[in-house]
Structure 1
């Protein structure tokens, strides 16, 4: 019994040491998306922030409650653009907000729009190959795991059929 307990402790300890922290994962996403996309977490509001950068003047933010996400899925495009899709749990009332940031990364309040329902998923779309988009998917799985949320993996669900 002691050997099993010791093995379990070593295995769990090694697993937690090997996985990235939230901040390391956020940094990896920003670096590997060529600065086009970023993810952050607002600990006060308990919201995930998906930030898109397009040039120096256009920065949009989508703010979501991560508990509303149910599944994760890869979508491969024919033109080199592949994406990770985060699907909402449609059995819940879903609310999310979008807004823009100014050059100092402050919210432009006049641009905030609040939505209720109507959206099925968030599409994290990047011009990367299939191997790299799988790494992005793993990064998102790590984020949700660190937040205590287990996502259903639609890509794995039907893999053995």
Structure 2
């Protein structure tokens, strides 16, 4: 009976303290000061990675649409200048990434372009502790979508 209660308690705490997909994407946005945003489109199964940048008065958002099923692992690359990166590593065949730019009203500028890539690099100004937390958040985000990805720094 004690074994059953222990297992039930472990399952309860795991489920109770797990963040939802929305909480995870909100955390990513908040902790990147809004510069990195993520949106999962359940209708077509695409993950939208938004990089918001400002130059003077011009606010531009760069959008990359990926198929999350193509991501094999997520790793961190540490920089020397305060900029660290999250790397979404695609499976060996790579993945087609659609990319485009939108303005401050989310109106598309130009046209959608496609390119085959073997990974996506997300640069974030942060210390090592925070970039490691970003990696965990992205791994958890994929889990909420139903996709198991590996920690690329563990192998």
Where does 1:29-40 land on structure 2 (aligned, <5 Å)? Answer: 29-40=28-39
Corresponding position of 1:105: 106
Structure 2: distance between partners of 1:154 and 1:64: 18
Which ranges of structure 1 fall in alignment gaps of 5 or more residues?
none
- CA-based RMSD of the aligned residues comes to 1.6
Corresponding position of 1:45: 44
Structure number with higher strand proportion:
2
Q: 1:4 to 1:107 in 2, by over 3 A?
A: farther
Find runs of 4+ consecutive structure 1 residues off by over 2 angstroms.
Answer: 2-10
Structure 2: distance between partners of 1:20 and 1:105: 28
3-state SS of the aligned residue for 1:134? helix
3-state SS of the aligned residue for 1:40? strand
Structure 1: distance between partners of 2:124 and 2:133: 12
Corresponding position of 1:66: 68
Output the TM-score relative to the length of structure 1: 0.86
Which ranges of structure 2 fall in alignment gaps of 5 or more residues?
none
3-state SS of the aligned residue for 1:144? helix
Corresponding position of 1:143: 141
Count of residues paired in the alignment: 152
Where does 1:8-27 land on structure 2 (aligned, <5 Å)? Answer: 8-27=7-26
How far apart are 1:8 and its partner, in Å? 2.5
Preserved contact between residue 48 and residue 64 of structure 2 (Cα < 8 Å): yes
